[in-house]
């Protein structure tokens, strides 16, 4: 698991984490390089602001980035091994498109979850705004 998600030299893994890093650095300082343990425990990660208080927006965005892109990297690995496909000529374009689609789908999901039709499970619009407005 560690090799596939953080160390593999096959096309895709380093590129996807690089895009995630760039997105993170657009809004926040200091990228926390993903490790196998940080990916596995990403649901419990809590980042602190410079004042020492929990930064809920940053924590939520970091958890989303880790979980979504770890899953994308895993899917790419499975495609390579099971389907015996390799991204060749335009792999960066394909990876960038899949990366963008992944983050856009999550963004859309968060905003859709703010609809009152979900009752008690409705996501507070302030939470969605705090998570996504920085990027």
Domain ranges of the chain: 2-132
Long-range (24+ apart) CB contacts under 8 A made by 1-7 are: 1/36, 1/40, 2/35, 2/36, 4/73, 4/74, 4/77, 5/34, 5/36, 5/39, 5/70, 5/73, 5/74, 6/34, 6/35, 6/36, 6/39
The pLDDT value recorded for residue 100 is 94
> Which pLDDT score, from 0 to 100, does residue 30 have?
86
32 with 17: CB under 8 angstroms?
Answer: no
Look at residue 95 in the predicted model and tell me its pLDDT: 86
Q: What is the pLDDT of residue 75?
A: 87
| pLDDT confidence of residue 112 | 96
Predicted local confidence at residue 29, as pLDDT: 85
* Tens of pLDDT, residue by residue, the chain (135 residues): 666 777 777 778 888 899 999 999 998 988 888 888 888 898 998 998 888 899 999 999 999 999 999 999 888 888 877 876 665 546 778 888 999 999 999 999 999 999 999 999 999 999 999 999 988
């Amino acid at each position: 698991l560690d090799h596939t998600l953080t160390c593999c030299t096959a096309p895709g893994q380093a590129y996807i984490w690089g895009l995630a890093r760039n997105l993170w650095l657009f809004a926040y300082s200091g990228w926390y390089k993903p490790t196998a343990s940080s990916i596995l425990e990403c649901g419990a990660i809590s980042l602190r602001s410079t004042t020492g208080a929990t930064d809920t927006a940053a924590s939520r965005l970091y958890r989303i980035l880790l979980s979504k892109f770890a899953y994308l990297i895993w899917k790419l690995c499975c495609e390579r091994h099971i389907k015996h496909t390799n991204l060749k000529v335009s792999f960066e374009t394909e990876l960038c498109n899949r990366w963008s689609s992944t983050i856009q789908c999550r963004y859309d999901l968060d905003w859709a979850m703010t609809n009152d039709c979900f009752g008690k499970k409705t996501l507070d619009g302030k939470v969605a705004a705090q998570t996504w407005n920085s990027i």
